[in-house]
């Protein structure tokens, strides 16, 4: 993803930060830590519109919680640590896949216009709605573990 216009249209907020991080990843500098992903964990993935991975992290936390005997703190800490360490790498792959998909569907120049009309990050309402669904599922899982 060398064209900065595709990148800017796709990333949205914090373009300067991600430009530096993605450049380092392209140059093979390895893991680039992401403090926001580490602090907010799966919510960061949802905010960055990587809903599938955020949901997979959530399911992983539920599964680890069941496996660890409902020790949700350890499961959450592991998920946040993984987000901190691998968040930028995962987001880099996500952005590249999205740009490639839009270029395939719309062509090079048209894809920039289409990406520009798309909101690059989830709004507060979307993030809260997904978080409420996640909290509800977590509550159901807790009830199942304690009363079934």
**What are the boundaries of each domain within the chain?**
4-147
Is the alpha carbon torsion for 64, 66, 70, 72 positive or negative? positive
pLDDT top residue among 33 and 41: 33
What is the rounded CA–CA span in Å between residue 71 and residue 61?
10
| Predicted structure pTM score | 0.73
Asked if 59 and 51 count as a contact pair (C-beta separation under 8 A), the reply is: no
Are the C-beta atoms of residues 105 and 33 closer than 8 Å to each other? Answer: no
Q: Distance of alpha carbon 133 from its chain centroid, rounded?
A: 17
Structure tokens at 143: 């009830």
Tell me the C-alpha distance between 11 and 19, whole Å: 9
Residue 92 has pLDDT above 50, yes or no: yes
pLDDT at position 122 is 63
pLDDT of 1 over the 50 cut = no
What SS3 class is residue 123? coil
Residues with Cβ within 8 Å of residue 98, at least 6 apart in sequence? 10, 115
Q: In this predicted structure, what is the pLDDT of residue 148?
A: 63
Q: What percentage of residues in the chain have a pLDDT greater than 70?
A: 77
Quickly count: other Cβ atoms within 10 Å of residue 68's Cβ.
13
């Amino acid at each position: 993803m060398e064209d900065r216009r595709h990148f800017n249209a796709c990333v949205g907020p914090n373009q300067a930060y991600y430009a530096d991080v993605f450049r380092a990843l392209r140059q093979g500098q390895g893991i680039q830590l992401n403090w926001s992903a580490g602090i907010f964990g799966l919510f960061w993935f949802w905010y960055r519109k990587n809903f599938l991975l955020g949901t997979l992290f959530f399911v992983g936390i539920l599964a680890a919680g069941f496996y660890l005997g409902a020790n949700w703190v350890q499961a959450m800490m592991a998920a946040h640590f993984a987000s901190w360490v691998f968040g930028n790498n995962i987001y880099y792959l996500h952005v590249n896949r999205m740009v490639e998909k839009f270029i395939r569907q719309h062509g090079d120049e048209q894809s920039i216009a289409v990406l520009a009309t798309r909101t690059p990050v989830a709004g507060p309402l979307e993030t809260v709605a997904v978080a409420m669904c996640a909290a509800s599922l977590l509550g159901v899982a807790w009830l199942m573990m304690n009363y079934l």
